Amino acid sequence: MISAVNKIILSFVHLSGLSKMVGFFSTGKNQPLNPDADDVDQQFQLQRRNVIVIITLCYGVGYVCRLAFNVVKKPLMDAGVFTPEEVGIIGSTLLYGYALGKFTNGFLADHAHVGRFFAAGIFLSAMANMGMGFSHLAWFSALLWGINGWFQGFGAPSSVVSLASWYTNGERGRYYGIWSTAHSIGEGLTYLGIAWLIAAAPKGLGLSWQWGLWTPAAICVFAAYLLYRYLPDRPSTLGLPSIADWKGEHGQVDKKHEDESIWKTQLRVLSIPSIWILALASSSMYVTRYAINSWGNVYLQEIRGFDLFDANLFIFFNTVAGILGCLAYGFVSDKYFSARRPPANLIFGLLEIIPLFIIFYGPPNTILLGIALVVYGFGLSGILASLGGLFAIDIAPKKVAGAAMGFIGIFSYIGAGMQDYISGKLIYDSEIVFAFPANEQHFDIFFYNYDKPILFWVGASVLSIVLASLLWKIKAAD
Amino acid sequence: MTIKQVMIFISVISLLVGCGEKSENKFCTVHRDVHQQHQNNVTTVDVSYLETGRLLATVEVPITQISETELNQHDKVLRVDAEQECYFVSLNIGEQKGVFEAKYHVECGMGNRLKKVTISLLENFSQIDEIEAFIDTPASKKHFILSRQCDGPIFNI
């Protein structure tokens, strides 16, 4: 059945003249093994350095083309280009496009030359940002931003395919941790750099909102060039042995399925129960992640009474702690638990959930709140690095790492999207308006009760940790 | 880089920075810092809404800005909308040091979700130019100033 589908797809591709393009993006053919051991060592050292630097830098930069719209939302509304509702719809299309992109591109990345594939994604994302700067039509912007979400979904699967191809099970935690810092780097670049461009003087340059989209586009075009030039295909296409052979580190080998096609292995991944449990755990943790990202700032101002600057400062510290959390998770799981993720998941899960209780149910002390937010950011980034990808790559056969990541990704972002709707509804349902009409003005002061949303956010984290703990005995595969 | 290029670069950046400035009402920008100076002559509204559904509103207005009769017309001062009807329970008005203090008590009942509280002092009494409000709900507290001269509320006083 699968081979019949393959034949149909291949004949369509051939007839439609797409074969050249598909060929360009396909992973190369395996080359005969290089007999020169010194040259192999040199090649591995060079390429491994290139891979981690390029995927971290470019994935971080690529984030700017994903988040830029968040920064220009207010100027767009102030300029009367879009209404808040239209801005909300445009913003959400990216999330759904990204969920779909992570899934489909995860499957495609396993078949692709990841350097070219990732480069194409980030280049097309740059073009979408460029187009957004010219669009004043809500439906067109929503369409373009949704497509951008799909292009953005080229990055993560390509990065994890590279990580699976160039680093062993025993060291992947550390390298995955380094790569995961790209999220925070991207957020920092966007919320400080792009915001500085368009913020009003004296805090920023006061450029028009279009520059908040065109500048990321220019940066992403440069990142696409770096990826195309420096991110290599798999070791076997360069005449190198597999990373497990080179390092002499092998995990559990599934002899029975060793020779099956990539398509078959990808489908087999979907029948692994632990992948489903992991997908649900990741989805639940993404609920908390995006809840705090989307509503944390508002909560700090509304309920805790901080001003905008201080609330953003808290979120900034939280992001910085996230960089350390990613690095620490990889180091701790590799070094202290022999690359076993479940014990580290539990530790980082507790480091995520205990501060959550302090933030929402603890005493109203500013210093304690600050410390709790930092520890929460540290714990969340660590456990997300695992549940959102690393653990899936460990469980799945390495040749289908992209598909495993994509499967986890679609669950995670559906969780994130649903969270936004559910949280928004729960918050809106609790709204009390204190209206102060005047003859010429009308002042409305809104009060929201966050009790139910908080229960939802904390509950999602608890569920995630319980689900992740069910995978305590799961071991990495080759 | 030549001196000419440096000068052009600095000029362009200066122009861009200059473009970003937006004129603001100076009164509203500085008022949170100087409000204390006239605080005693400003009308205050202190609303406390409890989980039990009890709403207590205390309004303090200088006697030069309103009459006792006007404060007695509670519909002109305070309206409360909830999922089900709320009941006006009592009103007590006193006077001290040239200021009327009116206490309004409204009962909405447990489980009756409060939707909107309208305080119409600025709409119905033209001599009131500014209100300092303290509002306390089961979820959060807010303290702000409303002035006829400003487009929005002034927080973080």
| B83 contacts chain A (CB < 8 A) | no
User: If you measure CA to CA, which chain B residue comes closest to A452?
Assistant: B139
A252: which strand partners?
A477
User: If you measure CA to CA, which chain A residue comes closest to B83?
Assistant: A432
| B155 contacts chain A (CB < 8 A) | yes
The radius of gyration of chain A from alpha carbons, rounded to an integer in Å, stands at 23
Q: Which of A312, A415, A416, A292 is nearest to A356 (CA)?
A: A292
Give the confidence band of B19 by pLDDT, cuts at 50, 70, 90: very low
Q: Do B148 and A201 touch (CB under 8 A)?
A: no
Q: Which of B16, B120, B156 sits opposite A437 (nearest CB)?
A: B120
Shortest CA gap B21–chain A (Å): 6
ipTM entry: 0.85
Asked whether the predicted pLDDT for residue A13 surpasses 60, the reply is: no
Using a CB-CB cut-off of 8 Å, the residues of chain A touching B18 are 201, 206
Look at residue A420 in the predicted model and tell me its pLDDT: 76
Asked whether the predicted pLDDT for residue A33 surpasses 80, the reply is: yes
Using a CB-CB cut-off of 8 Å, the residues of chain B touching A207 are 16, 19-20
Using a CB-CB cut-off of 8 Å, the residues of chain B touching A202 are 17
Q: Where in chain A is the domain with CATH 1.20.1250.20?
A: 47-238, 251-478
Q: Which of B121, B137, B155 sits opposite A447 (nearest CB)?
A: B137
Q: Do A206 and B13 touch (CB under 8 A)?
A: no
For the domain with range A47-238, which CATH number is right: 3.40.190.10, 1.10.3720.10, 1.20.1250.20, 1.10.275.10? 1.20.1250.20
Q: Which of A276, A231, A172, A177 is nearest to A54 (CA)?
A: A231
* A248-307 residue pLDDT tens: 877 666 666 666 777 888 888 888 899 999 999 999 999 998 888 777 777 887 788 776
Asked whether the predicted pLDDT for residue A16 surpasses 90, the reply is: no
Give the confidence band of B141 by pLDDT, cuts at 50, 70, 90: confident
Does domain A251-478 fall under CATH 1.20.1250.20? My reply is yes
Mean pLDDT of A177-190: 85
* A392-412 residue pLDDT tens: 888 888 778 888 888 898 889
Q: Which of B123, B141, B146 sits opposite A439 (nearest CB)?
A: B123
Give the confidence band of A478 by pLDDT, cuts at 50, 70, 90: low
Look at residue B23 in the predicted model and tell me its pLDDT: 45
Q: Which of B21, B122, B144 sits opposite A437 (nearest CB)?
A: B122
The H or E element containing residue B9 is: helix B3-19
The structure tokens listed for A397 are 């056969």
| B28 contacts chain A (CB < 8 A) | no
Residues 6+ apart with CB under 8 A from A421: none
* A197-251 residue pLDDT tens: 877 666 678 788 899 999 999 999 999 999 999 999 999 999 999 998 898 877 6
- The mean of the pLDDT values for chain A is 86
Using a CB-CB cut-off of 8 Å, the residues of chain B touching A74 are none
Mean pLDDT of B112-121: 94
Using a CB-CB cut-off of 8 Å, the residues of chain A touching B17 are 201-202, 205-206
Using a CB-CB cut-off of 8 Å, the residues of chain B touching A204 are 20
User: If you measure CA to CA, which chain B residue comes closest to A200?
Assistant: B20
Mean pLDDT of A147-165: 93
Shortest CA gap A360–chain B (Å): 12
Shortest CA gap B119–chain A (Å): 5
Look at residue B135 in the predicted model and tell me its pLDDT: 95
Q: Which of A350, A368, A351 is nearest to A359 (CA)?
A: A368
Look at residue A20 in the predicted model and tell me its pLDDT: 76
Residue B104 or B13, more confident: B104
Give the confidence band of A458 by pLDDT, cuts at 50, 70, 90: very high
Q: Which of B20, B116, B139 sits opposite A450 (nearest CB)?
A: B139
Domain boundaries, chain B: 33-147
